[in-house]
Amino acid sequence: MNQPDHIIRGDELPAMSRTGLRLPNGNDDRLFYGRVKWAQLRDGLSLHWSSCEELQDFVTENTVGPRLSFVLFLRGQSQVSYGDLSLTLGHPSARHVPEGVAVSMNEPVQFRRQARRGSHIRKLVVSLTPGWFEGRGEGVGATDGAIRRFMDSHLATRVWKPSSRLLTLADQMLNPPGYDALLASLYWESRALDIACEALASLGEGAASAEQGLRPQEYRRLQRLVELLDSGEADAWTLDHIARETGVNATTLQRQFRLFKGMTVFEYQRARRLNMAREALEREGSSVTEAAWRAGYNSPANFATAFKRQFGINPRQLRARV
């Protein structure tokens, strides 16, 4: 059965996470309000999802891996680390930009997550162990070469943009029907495998490159670049200027950024400005002309075309709904 929203306390965490729970006040073990689930669906296939508000600042630590994890962030942002690899998963709550991140661990690592009071989180994590792949019959050796290289690279990461279909499946998992235990397990397993399938397929895309994953230092450098781009400071910079600031040449920057975000640097900047324009329309009551100017468009017609391509709706239609 699907549980209603409720307060989740420390004793509801899995045993391996309870031992690494660090609370600022040991007398208050209220962690989340909402719904959180951890499930071992079958040998080597596990699922974790949450749709909740974090009630206090706290840290969880435990040992994970070896495994391949696919993190699907639908809302909110979390600071996590896998050994020496520190990641910022998701985006600030105001942006609501779904993001998928694959992380490869070919040896056990210390996992650490920092919770922040007031953060609203909607996420799913599907994890596959080497044993799960071996249990498919042909094992990892039969997989696509790019996928195998990624899995062989310890702490490699890859960001992918989840499809509309996958977002629908994720929403179904977060709001499951009231099945009994057996049917619920089958329901979650089928959708978890769909997530794994799309994520694995994204690892195999563009397999001509020998380097499909990003090394930890490359990931951190690109995270810093995204912070720079999100600040707006680089809006008027050329690609060469951005590359110099990042510490690589323009060709390397574009290749790594495509792996990181699935788009070019300028495509990311355009998408960011369009998101800002949408917020102006929805929250501030701006006119379409004003929103176009914020997005860097002199022509409202060109702005409307780009806006509809990104959001599937005309800006005037969106403004009429507000």
Q: Return the pLDDT at 163.
A: 83
Long-range contacts for 229-233 (Cβ within 8 Å, ≥24 apart)? 229/265, 229/268, 229/269, 229/272, 230/272
Predicted confidence band of residue 320 (pLDDT cuts 50, 70, 90):
low
Q: Return the pLDDT at 54.
A: 94
CATH architecture of the domain 6-204 equals Sandwich (2.60)
Residues 167 and 98 sit within 8 Å (Cβ to Cβ): yes
For residue range 65-98, list pLDDT tens digits in order. Answer: 899 999 999 888 888 999 888 888 887 655 567 8
pLDDT mean across residues, the chain: 85
DSSP assignment of 23-47, as one string? -SSTT--EEEEEEEEEEEEETTEEE
Q: Return the pLDDT at 307.
A: 84
Q: Is pLDDT of 142 > 50?
A: no
Measured torsion, CA atoms of residues 19, 115, 81, 103, in degrees rounded to the nearest 10: 100
Predicted confidence band of residue 241 (pLDDT cuts 50, 70, 90):
very high
Domain coordinates in residue numbering, the chain: 6-204, 216-263, 267-321
Q: Quick one: which of 268, 282, 213 has its CA closest to 235?
A: 268
Fold of 267-321: Arc Repressor Mutant, subunit A (1.10.10)
Q: What is the pTM of this model?
A: 0.65
User: Looking at residue 3, what DSSP letter applies?
Assistant: P
Q: Parallel, antiparallel, or unpaired: how do β-strands 58-64 and 67-75 relate?
A: unpaired
Q: Return the pLDDT at 261.
A: 76
Residues 219 and 85 sit within 8 Å (Cβ to Cβ): yes
Q: Is pLDDT of 207 > 50?
A: no
Stretch 104-127: mean pLDDT, rounded? Answer: 93
In angstroms, the Cα distances linking 322 to 26, 281, 282 are 45, 8, 6
For residue range 13-47, list pLDDT tens digits in order. Answer: 998 888 899 998 888 999 999 999 999 998 899 99
Predicted confidence band of residue 211 (pLDDT cuts 50, 70, 90):
very low
Q: 81: which 2 tokens?
A: 């680390």
